Structure 1
């Protein structure tokens, strides 16, 4: 009965830190008294369990008292071969929906639910975005699989085993936005990991070099029919090449990438709205630079529709505001900055206030600029 009470006590402590400090207290009391049975009874712990804690403490100190859980594959998860097939369907056709994918898999004799297909695509960062954060570059909660592998990769890097770390990262479904990628040479990373690395190296090396890398990765992805990856690399290439005065080349590439992610027939697409938004944003920038205001406004309106429909990050409110500011629509720019200010997190509000002040200054409203 005593041990059953302990079991319930431990189960009710959902916080891992609470369980850890319970072990620490029990261990300290044992070190004072020296009696396993007495301490075990007072803490409602089995003596064998307490002995195990003592051994772990003697081996690695208090850190070893923390429960270390390693990732285990869920029994209901698709097999690696089926998972790869589901991923390739989306890679080969970025505008593919889950229903279409389900039908294609059924023709091959594979039973898969819509939720299961979406889960695979989400895991590989082929669809969707995080609604609960205001900035796409912000840290998001990692899955146990990714978290466990990243720790192993970090440990391998600390031990000087760069190739081992690269193998671990290459085996992950996605590693987008992880700074560890910058510590590993490109030659050791897979195509997907190199594309994940592109946003992290912006500003760390000459833009010309970044554009060259992005273009090379896009061509490699196209040769392998990994069109979704090619679009991601293409967007990085376009962002890096915005400073160039080559609008014709940029518009051709944008049109090419848009055709890949946009559905030709009417119907719901499962394309990541952030990806399509970025293409429209770059297109509007190019049109604005060459003085085609009508075309730029058309792109901006499409951006607005996407932003309203999908409740995108406040970061994109700022992008729309900047586009309106470029073409001289200061009132609309201000309106979108205010919208972004409302839905942004506290850490990002200062940026919006700065842009609002800049907007008021550009309009000659210096008093309002001072107030903001």
Structure 2
């Protein structure tokens, strides 16, 4: 990208000077040796004594016909103080002040200082990407890099500060702020967008923004303001984001009969920001109006960069119109250079996912989500896919995992979306009460979410039909309208809207909350959109059995949410739990030999014992014999789950712990405390207390060890952030289950003393 440091103009003087210093030859003899005039050697020596080797590294010389520095500064400040200014209007103002300069002279000055002459093929919100390198910038940059690598940071910064406008580079990010001028700090933090934590980024940018306001540098305000607004949007700061976009809009607002075409980049990105701000403030029709303005602005451009097309597609995703978003992402993909195509392929794969064409694309491998570290969003997609594939337990596990990766700025949307998936998964297993309880527990987050709040309230409550009709015909996102249509009972119209807007997975996420609509349409033979994998789930097929095993204490069993009075032998209990944990859904199987080796080691009648045990379990669980069968597969015998779903409290314990720790990570201590309490509440006593087979002993040790460790983590974390009395109650409960735990005993003593 840059010329080599070593060139003839630099090497010759240094070689001559080194010869003179190292050999002891006179100036005249040295000049004869290098075939140059002796006065030249004299000048070089004088320059070397004054500046050292660095004086020969820069070969840049200011052109003789360039505008004077003072006039240049005045021209630049005209543009800074009024970004709307055109070249002709600037010339008129300068003439009135007695400064005569050509239009080309003004434009060239603006170009050198990064106010014009952007590379049209690389237009980007990160403005340093589209500023071309000038000869002056290249040469001074090379000189500064040489100094920086030699350890002269202050001198390197001084040379960088002398460059009128510095394009994107990796050197400026390594130089401390105190050495950099305001313009260099602006360029540095423009480049650091998405590369440092957003709260830190916003704080730094706000400081620079205020400095620009004090110095009336409004063009620079546009450069940093569009990225500051982007960071606020990512953080979910609706009001601050909207206020920032309004400030930038006011800067761009015409105040005379002139408006510079050079501001297309900023005007377009601010319009994109206005569209997102409208959606964030729940004005979706306003978002569409802004989209139309963007398209009108683009219509007059001969060349449109891929990034700008993708930005328009992104705004369409904010209003949940994925069909139109697909059109713009495709245009971006077709016009993008080869090295950038993967980004747009990733965006398109998300659209394909929303269309419901899951087999065509693996959204998690192709998208840029992983590169941005957005593991929370990719796990969210995977969880929805698992639910659609008829694997509710997997959906719950994946969605809970996504909380662990949620960043503070994503928390409201991620928590709301995750708990909607968990509630939907519980609903598919016929556990509607548990589902509603989950959703009510995250009211705080859902009301602060971009759109999940309204959807969750429609799922949890049952508003009057007049209100639902207003939502369907009003200024709301398509998914909110779909939820309202399902609540009204208009399944066909809800599906038609989901299909038209490419919201099929989202529609399928809501369907389990309204099973009567699906069952009614199945009976009429008119069902649309729900895959067979979901139709096999208990909520849509009442013949399917769901067993809820509560074994964190004495075993309690529920069959389709009804309590079963059972009296099983200890070995039968261990066997049932073992099988339920390993084969929790239809189609899963366990090798018969695994059971025989564990429960009847060395017995010649192990298979016969297993047969009798299965008879007792079928009888106790009121289980049809064909749902639990021993089959010969590939020369081995397997016990196969032929149509039962098992859920258990140990899995719930793990999910609550993951949620608690995720809330703690982002500073939501009260919610972390609440989820820890819910996790410990599941324990009613010592699990596997009367079981002595190898598997049961290992499981008891594993569960009690986990309980002890988590109780210690909980107590230490919430001694300062929680109610000590609640912490004490938890530790007392754990000590009853694990009476020989010395660490729990010492923590309990410590807390008791603090309370007293």
Q: 1:140: Cα distance to partner? A: 6.4
> Which of 181, 184, 190 is residue 190 of structure 1 equivalent to?
181
Distance across 2 between alignment mates of 1:145 and 1:90 = 21
Who is 2:351 aligned against? Answer: 359
1:105 is matched with: 94
Query: What residue number does 1:223 align with?
Result: 214
Which stretch of structure 1 is more off in the superposition, 179-188 or 234-243?
A: 234-243
Q: Is the 8 A contact 2:119 2:130 kept in 1?
A: no
What residue is the counterpart of 2:647 in the other structure? Answer: none
Does residue 132 (structure 1) correspond to residue 121 (structure 2)? The answer is yes
Give a deviation string over 1:194-235, Cα, whole Å, max 9, x none. Answer: 111112223333211110111111111111111111222222
- Given candidates 278, 293, 307, the residue that maps to 1:315 is 307
TM-score normalized by the length of structure 1 = 0.77
2:319 matches 1:292: no
1:369 Cα deviation after fit: 4.4
Q: Who is 2:231 aligned against?
A: 240
In 2: Cα distance, 1:139 partner to 1:89 partner: 22
Give the greater-gyration-radius structure (CA): 2
- Aligned equivalents of 2:77 and 2:209: distance in 1? 16
Q: How does 1:324-363 map to 2 (within 5 A)?
A: 324-363=316-355
Output the CA distance in 2 between the equivalents of 1:212 and 1:69: 36
Q: What residue ranges of structure 2 are gaps of 5+ in the alignment?
A: 9-31, 37-56, 367-756
Aligned positions of 1:266-277 closer than 5 A = 266-277=257-268
CA distance in 2, matches of 1:253, 1:350: 31
Q: Which moved more, 1:262-271 or 1:310-319?
A: 262-271
Shift of 1:312: 3.1
Instruction: State the Cα distance separating 1:361 from its structure 2 match.
Output: 1.4
Paired with 2:205 and 2:325, the residues of 1 have a C-alpha distance of 31
Residue 163 of structure 2 corresponds to residue 177 of structure 1 = no
Question: SS of 1:317's equivalent?
Answer: helix
* 1:138 to 1:106, Cα distance in 2 relative to 1, 3 A: closer
3-state SS of 2:255 partner: coil
Greater strand proportion: 2
Structure 1 pair 106–134 and aligned structure 2 pair: CA distance change class (3 A)? closer
Answer whether contact 1:93 1:227 (CA < 8 A) is retained.
yes
In the alignment, what sits opposite 2:691? none
Q: Indicate the residue corresponding to 2:155 in structure 1.
A: 164
Q: Quote how far apart the aligned CAs of 1:245 are.
A: 3.9
CA distance in 2, matches of 1:265, 1:368: 53
Cα deviation, residue 134, structure 1: 6.8
Partner of 1:70: 59
1:352 shift after superposition: 1.8
Do the aligned partners of 1:126 and 1:272 also contact (CA within 8 Å) in 2? no
Equivalent residue of 2:203, what SS? helix
Distance 1:127 1:305, change over 3 A: farther
Q: Structure 1 pair 110/134, CA: closer, same or farther in 2 (3 Å)? A: closer
> What TM-score, normalized to structure 2?
0.39
Match of 2:110 in 1: 121
The question of whether the paired residues in 2 share the 8 Å contact of 1:134 and 1:344 is answered with: no
Higher relative contact order (CA 8 A, sep 6+): 1
Q: Is the 8 A contact 1:102 1:112 kept in 2?
A: yes
- Checking the alignment, whether the CA contact within 8 Å between 1:263 and 1:269 is kept in structure 2 is no
SS in 2 for 1:296: helix
Aligned to 1:89: 78
Q: 1:28 — aligned with what?
A: none
Equivalent position of 2:137 in the other structure: 146
Shift in alpha-carbon separation, 1:306–1:368, aligned structure 2, 3 A: farther
Residue 120 of structure 2 aligns to a residue whose secondary structure is coil
2:420 corresponds to: none
Q: Determine whether 1:211 maps to 2:202.
A: yes
Say if 1:324 and 1:332, in contact at 8 Å, map to a contact too.
Answer: yes
Distance 1:326 1:139 in 2: 27
What's the counterpart of residue 677 of structure 2? none
CA distance in 2, matches of 1:256, 1:102: 28
Residue-by-residue CA offset, 1:223-251 (whole Å, 9 max, x unaligned): 11111112222223212211344423322
| Other-structure match for 1:10 | none
Instruction: Quote the residue 2:432 is aligned against.
Output: none
Distance 2:268 2:181 in 1: 27
- CA RMSD, aligned part only? 2.9
Alpha-carbon deviation of 1:132?
A: 3.1
Cα drift, residue 259 of structure 1: 1.6
